Amino acid sequence: MKLEMDRDRSRREILQAAAALAGGVLLSIRPAAATPEMMKDAVRAVIGEAPVKKGKVNLDLPPLVENGNSVPCTVAVESPMTAADYVKAIHIFNEKNPQPNVISVKLGPRAGRAGFSTRIRLADSQTVTAIAELSDGSFWSDDIDVIVTLAACIEDPKP
């Protein structure tokens, strides 16, 4: 009986040690994630101190993502896209990837329609923001909350 207990305890100790080790490894390989503050700084670095209003922009991402390595992402901005009134630039930012920037696009009236699609990486469930700069100097934005079940950026490569 004593032998049984000993074995039981040592098994528990080994399990605890293994869990601690795994936790340590996970912490050490995980790169420092961006924070919402870093995202705000990145936004300010790109657009300056201009106020950003909600609206006009439509950011389309699936609300539930199984694999953060490739997430389809579409932005469309309401704009006539004429020489007098057009979208100059569209930027996408995220809160929790290692880096807050995703993509910055320059457009002009030649585009005809203000928008683009791409595929992005998401390291965690987070808010993704798109900001459009119009030719009159105003900034408009849209946010979307995305839940990610398998994160990108930090997974181990296939051996």
Partner 1 sequence: MARALIHVPATAKKGEIIEIKTLISHVMETGYRIGVTGQPIPRDIIEDFACTYNGEEIFHAKLYPAIAANPYITFFTVATESGTLAFSWTDQHGATQVQTAAITVE
Q: What share of the chain is helix, strand, coil (3-state, %, to 5)?
A: 25, 35, 35
157 belongs to the binding site for partner 1 (CB under 8 A): yes
48 belongs to the binding site for partner 1 (CB under 8 A): no
Copy the structure tokens of residue 107: 């457009």
User: Measured from the CB of residue 3, what is the shortest distance to partner 1 in angstroms?
Assistant: 39
User: Measured from the CB of residue 135, what is the shortest distance to partner 1 in angstroms?
Assistant: 15
Residues 87/79, Cβ–Cβ less than 8 Å: yes
Among residues 114, 115, 56, 109, the alpha carbon closest in space to that of 82 is found at 109
SS3 140: strand
Among 24, 31, 62, 80, binds partner 1 (CB under 8 A): 31
* Binding-site string for partner 1 from residue 64 to residue 83, where x marks contact by CB under 8 A and - marks none: -----xxx------------
Between the alpha carbon of residue 141 and those of residues 60, 73, 78, 129, the distances in Å are: 12, 15, 11, 7
User: Measured from the CB of residue 25, what is the shortest distance to partner 1 in angstroms?
Assistant: 10
Q: Which of residues 85-124 bind partner 1 (CB under 8 A)?
A: 94, 97-99, 101-108, 110-113, 115-122
Residues that bind partner 1 (CB under 8 A): 29, 31, 69-71, 94, 97-99, 101-108, 110-113, 115-122, 152-157, 159
